[in-house]
Structure 1
Amino acid sequence: MNGRRSLWTIFAVPLLLFVASLVGLVWALLDDGGADTVAAVAAGVSIPVLAWAWVRRGRGSVTRD
């Protein structure tokens, strides 16, 4: 892989996490009932993903350019 990455390559996953969290938050505010659980999962999806990336980076699996 060359040293340069496109903006889409760099920001694709953070953008998807942002959209999922935002949809989950709005959904939780606008809907009541059983869908609140799904909305809470969507809003909180970024926390386990960030923890996974942090642990993976600590093991040296992620290379630094």
Structure 2
Amino acid sequence: MSRADLSLWRIFRIPLLLVALSLTGLIGALLDNGLWDGLGAALLAATLVIATAAWVRRRRSRSH
């Protein structure tokens, strides 16, 4: 990857997505019960799944 490929958007798009998912999940779970609790938990779990998948992918690419 060349330096030209390292725009701010390419660097921060996944972290911004994780922040948006986390904040939506946290705020939604705090505002209302029922559906929002489940949705909030799902969004928070999604951030963990995405981060773990990225970590595993990076570890695999380094080992090959």
**Is TM (by shorter chain) over 0.5?**
yes
Q: Greater share of helix residues, 1 or 2? A: 2
1:16-57 deviation line (CA, Å, top 9, x unaligned): 110110011000000111331111111232111111111111
User: Segments of 4+ in structure 1 off by > 2 A?
Assistant: 1-4
Identity %, equivalent residues: 44
- The normalised TM-score by structure 2 is 0.81
Structure 2 segments unaligned to the other structure (5+ residues): none
How do 1:1-65 and structure 2 match up within 5 A? 1-4=1-4, 5-60=6-61
Question: Could you say which structure has the greater relative contact order, defined with CA pairs below 8 angstroms and 6 or more residues apart?
Answer: 1
SS at match of 1:60: helix
Q: How many residues align?
A: 61
Aligned-residue CA RMSD (Å): 1.5
Structure 1 segments unaligned to the other structure (5+ residues): none
